[in-house]
Structure 1
Amino acid sequence: MAQPERWFKRILPQGLLGRSLLIIVTPLIVVQLVSTYIFYASHWDTVARRLSAGLAGDIGAVIESVRAFPAPEDRLRVFGIAANKMDLDMRFQTGGILPNTPPEPPRGLMEQALHDALNDRVQRPFMVDARSFEREVAVRVQLSDGLLEVFVPRKRLFSSTTYIFVLWMVGTSMLLLGIATVFMRNQVRSVRKLAVAADAFGKGRDIPHFKPEGATEVRQAAQAFNLMQDRIKRQMQQRTEMLAGVSHDLRTPLTRMKLQLAMLGEVDGRAELEEDVAEMEQMVEGYLAFVRGEGGEATTPTDLAALVDEVVSRYRREGRELDLHVEDSLVMPLKPQAMARVISNLIGNAHRYGGHVWVRVGKRAEAAEIIVDDDGPGIPVESREQVFKPFFRLERSRNLATGGVGLGLTIARDIVRGHGGDVLLEDSPLGGLRARVRLPL
Structure 2
Amino acid sequence: MPRSLLGRMLLLTLLVVLLAQGLSSLIWLSQLRASQREGLVASARSLAHSMSASVSYFRSLPLAYRPLVLDQLRSMGGTRFFVSLNDRPLDMQVLPSTPRKEAVIAAVDEVLRQRLGEMRISVEFVSPQDLRIFNSGLKLDELPRSWAHYALTLEPVEPPVLVTQIRLAEGEWLYIASLLPEPYTTLEDEGLPRQQVLFIGFTGFFLLLFIGLLVHWQSRPLKRLALAAREMSLGADVAPVVEGGGSEVEEVARAFNAMRERISRYLTERSQLFSAISHDLRTPITRLRLRVELLEDEQVQAKFGRDLDELEMLVKGALQCVKDTDIHENIEAIDLNQVLECLVEPYLASGRVTIRGHAEAAYPGKPLALRRCIGNLIDNALKYGERAHLRIIDGEDSFVLHVDDEGPGVPAQQLEQVFEPHFRLAGKQQGYGLGLGIARNIAHSHGGEVSLRNLREGGLRVTLSLPRYLD
Matched, 1:233 2:223: no
Question: 1: distance between equivalents of 2:456 and 2:206?
Answer: 57
- Which of 169, 172, 183 is matched with 2:211 structurally? 183
Match of 2:320 in 1: 289
Shift of the alpha carbon at 1:244? 3.1
- Which of 136, 139, 144 is matched with 2:162 structurally? 139
Q: Give the aligned residue type for 1:295.
A: I
List gaps (5 residues or longer) in structure 2.
Answer: 114-120, 129-152
Question: 1: distance between equivalents of 2:187 and 2:2?
Answer: 40
Question: 2: distance between equivalents of 1:320 and 1:342?
Answer: 23
Q: SS at 1:118's partner residue?
A: helix
Q: Give the aligned residue type for 1:118.
A: V
Q: Which has the larger radius of gyration?
A: 2
Q: SS at 1:394's partner residue?
A: coil
Question: 2: distance between equivalents of 1:97 and 1:18?
Answer: 71
List gaps (5 residues or longer) in structure 1.
Answer: 1-11
Match of 1:113 in 2: 103
**1:363-374 equivalences in 2 (<5 Å):** 363=394, 366-374=397-405
Provide Cα deviations, 1:146-195, integer angstroms capped at 9, x if missing partner.
53343443225689996677844772476156415642564377187268
1:256–1:90 CA distance, 2 compared to 1 (3 A): same
Residues 159 and 186 in structure 2, CA contact (< 8 A), matched pair in contact too: no
Residues 136 and 154 in structure 1, CA contact (< 8 A), matched pair in contact too: no
Q: SS at 2:42's partner residue?
A: helix
Match of 1:298 in 2: 330
- Which of 56, 80, 83 is matched with 1:89 structurally? 80
Question: 2: distance between equivalents of 1:235 and 1:368?
Answer: 31
Matched, 1:54 2:57: no
Question: 1: distance between equivalents of 2:194 and 2:176?
Answer: 37
TM-score, normalised on structure 2? Answer: 0.69
Question: 2: distance between equivalents of 1:171 and 1:130?
Answer: 36
Shift of the alpha carbon at 1:56? 2.8
Question: 2: distance between equivalents of 1:205 and 1:239?
Answer: 14
Question: 1: distance between equivalents of 2:88 and 2:21?
Answer: 48
Shift of the alpha carbon at 1:338? 1.2
1:381–1:166 CA distance, 2 compared to 1 (3 A): same
1:323–1:348 CA distance, 2 compared to 1 (3 A): closer
Q: SS at 2:424's partner residue?
A: coil
Residues 293 and 301 in structure 2, CA contact (< 8 A), matched pair in contact too: no
Residues 129 and 139 in structure 1, CA contact (< 8 A), matched pair in contact too: yes
- Identity across the alignment (%): 26
Match of 1:125 in 2: 122
Matched, 1:347 2:378: yes
Q: Give the aligned residue type for 2:45.
A: A
Residues 32 and 169 in structure 1, CA contact (< 8 A), matched pair in contact too: no
1:177–1:43 CA distance, 2 compared to 1 (3 A): same
Match of 1:67 in 2: 56
Match of 1:381 in 2: 412
1:393–1:237 CA distance, 2 compared to 1 (3 A): same
Shift of the alpha carbon at 1:296? 0.7
Q: SS at 1:153's partner residue?
A: coil
Q: Give the aligned residue type for 2:101.
A: E
The aligned length equals 415
TM-score, normalised on structure 1? Answer: 0.73
1:354–1:162 CA distance, 2 compared to 1 (3 A): closer
Shift of the alpha carbon at 1:326? 3.0
Matched, 1:423 2:450: yes
Question: 2: distance between equivalents of 1:373 and 1:211?
Answer: 46
Q: Give the aligned residue type for 1:120.
A: E
Match of 1:312 in 2: 344
Provide Cα deviations, 1:267-319, integer angstroms capped at 9, x if missing partner.
968888777666555443321121231321122111223212212235x39x9
Matched, 1:200 2:230: yes
Q: Give the aligned residue type for 2:275.
A: A
Matched, 1:359 2:393: no
Match of 1:334 in 2: 365
Residues 387 and 409 in structure 1, CA contact (< 8 A), matched pair in contact too: yes
Q: Give the aligned residue type for 1:171.
A: F
Q: SS at 1:155's partner residue?
A: coil
1:42–1:359 CA distance, 2 compared to 1 (3 A): closer
Matched, 1:100 2:91: yes
1:356–1:46 CA distance, 2 compared to 1 (3 A): closer
Q: Give the aligned residue type for 1:139.
A: L
Residues 402 and 463 in structure 2, CA contact (< 8 A), matched pair in contact too: yes
Q: SS at 1:371's partner residue?
A: strand
Residues 43 and 180 in structure 2, CA contact (< 8 A), matched pair in contact too: no
Q: Give the aligned residue type for 1:89.
A: R
Residues 369 and 442 in structure 2, CA contact (< 8 A), matched pair in contact too: yes
Shift of the alpha carbon at 1:26? 4.8
Residues 126 and 161 in structure 2, CA contact (< 8 A), matched pair in contact too: yes
Residues 135 and 153 in structure 1, CA contact (< 8 A), matched pair in contact too: no
Provide Cα deviations, 1:3-60, integer angstroms capped at 9, x if missing partner.
xxxxxxxxx6665555545554555555555555555656523531443333333432
Shift of the alpha carbon at 1:200? 3.2
Q: SS at 1:360's partner residue?
A: strand
Q: Give the aligned residue type for 1:121.
A: V
Q: CA RMSD in A?
A: 4.6
